[in-house]
Amino acid sequence: MKQDRSRGFWYGVYALVLVGLVAGIWGMSVRVHYDWNWRDVPQYLVSTSGQELLAPFDAYVTITPDGKTLSLTEYGGERSASYTDFEQAYAESGDLVFRDDLLAYQAGLRPGILLIGLWMTLKLSAVSLVFALLFGLVAGLGRVADNPAARQLSSNYVELIRGTPLLVQIFIVYFFIGTVLQLSAFTAGVVALAVFTGAYIAEIIRSGIESVPRGQMEASRSLGMSYAQAMRYVVLPQALKKTLPSLAGQFINLIKDSSLVSVMALTDLTKAGREIISSNFRPFEVWFTVALMYLALTGTLSYLVRRLEKRLAHE
């Protein structure tokens, strides 16, 4: 009973601290005369201006007098097209439009720039993760290998990557390797993130392998299995299961690290935020929104991993 009361007291303290923090942030914004305006934010998540209707070919535009039908006649060609499902026309009758010119906005919702940025962040992280796991597995196996070349190379890779800042690596990949090999911004981003995360995953996998008792490898070899077979069927399954929490943590780090690729011409969530701010000058609202979106992503992920862990622990 007494313990219940003191617990209640400390929950009260917790709530007070939270309220104090929020009040502090608000107070600071008042001091700099910041004019909060959250109403501008939703349109960057979901845009109500509808889908863009683009010209499929070079053509002359005809719009019926009631303004409901827009027809195209190809310039110097035979094709024609007509549209009725649009809200507001941007072209006028008699205009000559070129391919991919904006004709009109169609009715309905479309994802705003923040959601598009979030999707890019997700795509970038997922693709990078696949390659990072691959690099990490190879380098991790190299770290525990007998072969001196494999061991030295993997160890150099890990030291080199862990000893230099990710931002510098991104610049090197984008401006040097990317230029030489003509990589797109997305490819360059994936390369930089995968190589970086791979080094950390290599260490996780190495420690996972080393945590499996030696006897497992010995028993496998005594049955006539090759080193590779013993790794594949006996050691790695146990090592990966043990390292799953650390691997998940590394994936969450990867999502957060991916914000650094916004220095390249790649509109991820962070870059989307910067683009919005440069047009509406509302840094507080936008950065808070961006932070919340990252938090939603990483929070969902760690929840899924906890569930997976529980399932594995049951087996």
Partner 1 sequence: MNDKALIRATAVTKCYPNGTQALKGVDLQVSRGEVVCIIGPSGSGKSTLLRTLNAMESITSGEVMVDGVSVHARSTDLNRLRTQVGMVFQQFNLFPHMTALENVMLAPMRVSKRPLDEARSRAEKLLQKVGLADKAHVHPGQLSGGQQQRVAIARALAMQPTIMLFDEPTSALDPEMVGEVLEVMKDLAREGMTMCVVTHEMGFARAVAHRVIFMDGGQIQHEAPPQPFFDAPSHDRLRAFLGQVLK
> Residues interacting with partner 1, by CB under 8 A?
213, 215-216, 218-226, 229, 233-234, 237-238, 241
DSSP 232: I
Do 302 and 250 form a contact (C-beta atoms < 8 A)? Answer: no
Do 264 and 189 form a contact (C-beta atoms < 8 A)? Answer: yes
- Nearer to partner 1 (CB atom), residue 139 or residue 231: 231
- Nearer to partner 1 (CB atom), residue 5 or residue 314: 314
224 φ, ψ to 5°? 100, 5
Measured CA to CA, the distance from residue 28 to residue 26 in angstroms comes to: 5
- Please state the closest distance from residue 166 (CB atom) to partner 1, in A: 35
* CA dihedral sign of residues 195, 200, 204, 210: positive
Residue linked to tokens 């998940």:
248
- Please state the closest distance from residue 315 (CB atom) to partner 1, in A: 8
Measured CA to CA, the distance from residue 125 to residue 252 in angstroms comes to: 9
Number of Cα atoms under 13 Å in the Cβ half of residue 150: 12
DSSP 260: G
Tokens of 154: 């993997």
- Nearer to partner 1 (CB atom), residue 76 or residue 215: 215
- Nearer to partner 1 (CB atom), residue 43 or residue 216: 216
Residue linked to tokens 């509808």:
50
Residue length, the chain? 315
- Please state the closest distance from residue 207 (CB atom) to partner 1, in A: 18
- Please state the closest distance from residue 311 (CB atom) to partner 1, in A: 14
- Nearer to partner 1 (CB atom), residue 123 or residue 151: 151
- Please state the closest distance from residue 222 (CB atom) to partner 1, in A: 4
Measured CA to CA, the distance from residue 49 to residue 242 in angstroms comes to: 49
- Nearer to partner 1 (CB atom), residue 63 or residue 212: 212
- Nearer to partner 1 (CB atom), residue 102 or residue 223: 223
Nearby residues of 309 by Cβ (< 8 Å), 6 or more positions away: 244, 245
Angle 268-271-274 from CA coordinates, rounded to 5°: 150
- Please state the closest distance from residue 238 (CB atom) to partner 1, in A: 6
- Please state the closest distance from residue 283 (CB atom) to partner 1, in A: 51
